[in-house]
Each structure stands twice: as structure tokens, then as C-alpha cells.
């Protein structure tokens, strides 16, 4: 019998992602898109040239399932260089179709139906969908801005989220959408709970190179803490670090059994990901330190530019220590929810942002918060700031 919606029941709550909705709204209204996080300039020329050469050089058939050896070697060398992490390029790395596939394959490969996944809300939207597809259960712990605007979690709430069914902790730091960088003290607590409850950790570190110089602490991969290397799958991606979000080249590194679990699911989702892009990402990962610091400094300058514009427009701006994003509290400008506010913003002043409430299980926690992306050219940020001034006039 035909039902009105053929989609499986467990996926119906997900609708269309906020990024798709808001980017379509930006196109439809001709607005400046500070919603979906993608840069409007290309990444390093060496990487682009390497991709062209690979494409012309015949790298156009299936690469090996775990990724080409040069890319796996570049990933392990990068992780050693920046984070002092040691992994075996043959057995402890798998290349995926973006970080998104790595997260999905890891959750599906590690969670039985009914297993629990501790995560921090607001969270990147694919997490909830992947947990649901696996038949697992989310145990969200809420990040809330303190009087200084810095997001923190309550220790008791985190402790209560753990239990006998906890299978893994899913941690994103630097954190989208808040720009929070988890501190060593917070990571140490998370690590101790992983060990107490004998769970795995899945870390989404796609913004690993985007911690600004005024952040209170540097980025620390959870896998580098004592006792965590053997239970942590570390996920990253080329998209953010090399301004190529459309390439969808990501990876997971960790102990061989965890990487194998990802690989055994991944082989039936996409099998492999784009072969000519893999050697190019290998080149990018080997760029000198100056690329990575220059990239960060460029984003930091654009963050500062957007933050100044948002403050002038009348928003209360929360501090962003990393990522592509900054969150504002809209209550000084509007009593509406962030979702209503963002749906009207393009008509009111030709700018698109993303409501943060869609990234929560407890949506009321983020009702008054919206997110702007600053990974855009300076003239675009300035124009957006100019347009947003209309709000307080």
C-alpha cells in the first residue's frame, strides 16, 4: 500500500538540512550567504595543480579501499608533525568520503541498536541522523554560554549521560557551531569517563587548524591524552583546512580494529572516494607550517571583521576561539526564535545566517542563538555588515 511518505519512519524527523534550506534561500533572495560554512576562495594552488595533474595523469579508476598509500602516509606524517600522534599508515588509517562518511561509518560500525552515544549539543546535524540510522540513542550534554560568553558543560550532566549502555562519546573540537575549543581540563574529564565506562571516543577534528591566537588554550586531540590512543578514532577532512569543501576527502585514524570497523562499513557505502583528489590532498597535508598559520591568521582577521560588524548591528556576539563560525544572541534585536529570525533575515536585509536551535535535542536552549560564517572574502563580510546595520535603525 502506498503511504504518503515512503521515507522510513526513523528518518522522518530529519527533513531537509538547514544548510540546504538556507543556501537555497540565499540563492532565491540574492542574499549574502553567511549560513552554510564554505569558503568563497580556492585552497592552495599546489593542491589544485596536483589534482589537475592526477586527473590528466590517469588517476581515474578505483583507488585502494583504505585510500592511496601516498595520502595515508601524508595523514600519518601530518598527525605526527602537528599533534605528536603516531599511527601506522597501512593499518590505522582509512580515507573516507568526507568527515561525514567517517562519522556515519564509525557509528554504524561500532553501535548495536540501543547502544548510547554521548554527544555535546549543539552538534553538527549529521551526528543525530547517523546515530538514528544505526538504531542507537543520543545522550546529549548541553553546552551553555557562561557570563563571559564561553560555552561550557556541567560536569554532573556529563557524568549522568554515561551509563552501562554507553558505547561511545562523539566529540567535536574545535566545535561547530559555537567556536568553542575544549580545554585540557574538560578533555581530561571526558577521557576519564571513557575509561571508567570502557567506551570508545569518536573525535571530529575537521577544524584542527582553526584555533585562533587569542584562544585560551591550543587544540588538544583527545587521542593524545593518556589511555586514549587505544580507544579513540580521530576524524578529519581536507574540506576546511584546504578550502575545498566540495572535494569530500576525509579520513579516520585510530587503532587497527576501530579503523577496520569503519572500513568494513565504508566499503558498502561508497567503497572509495575520488581518486584524483587523493594525491592532491597528500600534497596539501605536506605544505610547510607557514601555510597552516597563514590560513589561520587569514580566518582570524575575517572573524574580527565580522564580529565588529555584528556588534555594530546590535547583536550580542559570543566569543569564537576557532572554526569558521561565530554565534550571536539575537534577544537585543528580536523576541523571535532564531529560526523565525533567520527565515526573515534575507528579506529584511539580504543576509543569510543559520539558527542554532536546529542543532539541539533541547531546542529551547538555542532558541535565541544564530550562527554566522566568516570564511568569506573581506569585501563580502563588509557588505554583509553594512546590510545588517539596517536591523537596529
Shortest reach from residue 282's CB to ligand PMP, in Å: 16
| Torsion-angle region of 271 (φ positive above 0: left; ψ -120 to 50: alpha; else: beta) | left
Closest CA to 249 of 128, 101, 125: 101
Binding letters toward ligand PMP, positions 185-204, x by CB under 6 A: -------------------x
Locate 201 and state its grid cell.
571516543
Q: Which of residues 223-242 bind ligand PMP (CB under 6 A)?
A: 237, 239-240
Locate 85 and state its grid cell.
600522534
Give the one entry of ligand GLN, ligand PMP, none that residue 172 binds, where binding means its C-beta sits below a cut-off of 5 to 8 angstroms depending on kind.
ligand PMP
172 binds ligand PMP (CB under 6 A): yes
Tell me the β-bridge partners of 351.
Answer: 32
**Using CB under 6 A, which of 76, 100, 278, 321 touches ligand PMP?**
100
36 binds ligand GLN (CB under 6 A): yes
Shortest reach from residue 6's CB to ligand PMP, in Å: 26
Cell 593499518 found at: 91
Enumerate the H helices of the chain as residue ranges: 18-29, 45-56, 69-83, 98-110, 125-133, 155-161, 184-196, 238-241, 256-269, 277-285, 289-312, 338-349, 378-388
Locate 202 and state its grid cell.
569518536
Q: Can you state the angle between helices 338-349 and 18-29, rounded to 10 degrees?
A: 20
Distance CA 254, CA 18 (A): 31
Give the one entry of ligand GLN, ligand PMP, none that residue 356 binds, where binding means its C-beta sits below a cut-off of 5 to 8 angstroms depending on kind.
none
- Closest to ligand PMP by CB, 248 vs 376, is 248
Give the one entry of ligand PMP, ligand GLN, none that residue 36 binds, where binding means its C-beta sits below a cut-off of 5 to 8 angstroms depending on kind.
ligand GLN
Binding letters toward ligand GLN, positions 174-203, x by CB under 6 A: --x---------------------------
19 binds ligand GLN (CB under 6 A): yes
327 binds ligand PMP (CB under 6 A): no
Closest CA to 181 of 322, 297, 71: 322
**Using CB under 6 A, which of 232, 245, 275, 321 touches ligand PMP?**
245
Q: Which of residues 117-176 bind ligand GLN (CB under 6 A)?
A: 176
**Under 8 Å between Cβ of 36 and 19:** yes
Locate 328 and state its grid cell.
550571536
Task: Point out which residues bind ligand PMP (CB under 6 A).
Answer: 98-100, 124, 172, 176, 204, 206, 237, 239-240, 245, 248, 250
Task: Point out which residues bind ligand GLN (CB under 6 A).
Answer: 17, 19, 36-37, 176
Amino acid at each position: 500500500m502506498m503511504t504518503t511518505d515512503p521515507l522510513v519512519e526513523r528518518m522522518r524527523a530529519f527533513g531537509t538540512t538547514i544548510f540546504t534550506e538556507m543556501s537555497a534561500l540565499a540563492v532565491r533572495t540574492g542574499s549574502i550567504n553567511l549560513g552554510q560554512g564554505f569558503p568563497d576562495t580556492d585552497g592552495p594552488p599546489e593542491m589544485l595543480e596536483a589534482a589537475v595533474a592526477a586527473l590528466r595523469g590517469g588517476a581515474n579508476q578505483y583507488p585502494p579501499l583504505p585510500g592511496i598509500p601516498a595520502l595515508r602516509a601524508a595523514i600519518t606524517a601530518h598527525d605526527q608533525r602537528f599533534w605528536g600522534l603516531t599511527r601506522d599508515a597501512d593499518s590505522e588509517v582509512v580515507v573516507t568520503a568526507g568527515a561525514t562518511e567517517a562519522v556515519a561509518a564509525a557509528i554504524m560500525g561500532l553501535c548495536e541498536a540501543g547502544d548510547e552515544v554521548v554527544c555535546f549539543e549543539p552538534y553538527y546535524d549529521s551526528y543525530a541522523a547517523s546515530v538514528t540510522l544505526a538504531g542507537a540513542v543520543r545522550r546529549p550534554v548541553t553546552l551553555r554560554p557562561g557570563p563571559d560568553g564561553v560555552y561550557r558543560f556541567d560536569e554532573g550532566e556529563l557524568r549522568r549521560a554515561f551509563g552501562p549502555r554507553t558505547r561511545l562519546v562523539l566529540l567535536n573540537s574545535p566545535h561547530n557551531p559555537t567556536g568553542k575549543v575544549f580545554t585540557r581540563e574538560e578533555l581530561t574529564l571526558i577521557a576519564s569517563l571513557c575509561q571508567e565506562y570502557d567506551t570508545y571516543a569518536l573525535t571530529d577534528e575537521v577544524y584542527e587548524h582553526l584555533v585562533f591566537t587569542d584562544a585560551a588554550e591550543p587544540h588538544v586531540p583527545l587521542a593524545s591524552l593518556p589511555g586514549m590512543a587505544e580507544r579513540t578514532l580521530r576524524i578529519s577532512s581536507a574540506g576546511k583546512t584546504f578550502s575545498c569543501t566540495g572535494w569530500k576527502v576525509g579520513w579516520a585514524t585510530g587503532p587497527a580494529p576501530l579503523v577496520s570497523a569503519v572500513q568494513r562499513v565504508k566499503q558498502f557505502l561508497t567503497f572509495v572516494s575520488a581518486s584524483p583528489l587523493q594525491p592532491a590532498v597528500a600534497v596539501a597535508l605536506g605544505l610547510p607550517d607557514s601555510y597552516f598559520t597563514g590560513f589561520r591568521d587569514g580566518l582570524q582577521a575575517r572573524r574580527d571583521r565580522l564580529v565588529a560588524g555584528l556588534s555594530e548591528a546590535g547583536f550580542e556576539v559570543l566569543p569564537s576561539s576557532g572554526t569558521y563560525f561565530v554565534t550571536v544572541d539575537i534577544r537585543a534585536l528580536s523576541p523571535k526564535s532564531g529560526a523565525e529570525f533567520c527565515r526573515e533575515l534575507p528579506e529584511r536585509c539580504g543576509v543569510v545566517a543559520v539558527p542554532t536551535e536546529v542543532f539541539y535535542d533541547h531546542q529551547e536552549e538555542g532558541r535565541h542563538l544564530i550562527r554566522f560564517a566568516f570564511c568569506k572574502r573581506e569585501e563580502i563580510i563588509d557588505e554583509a555588515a553594512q546590510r545588517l546595520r539596517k536591523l537596529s535603525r
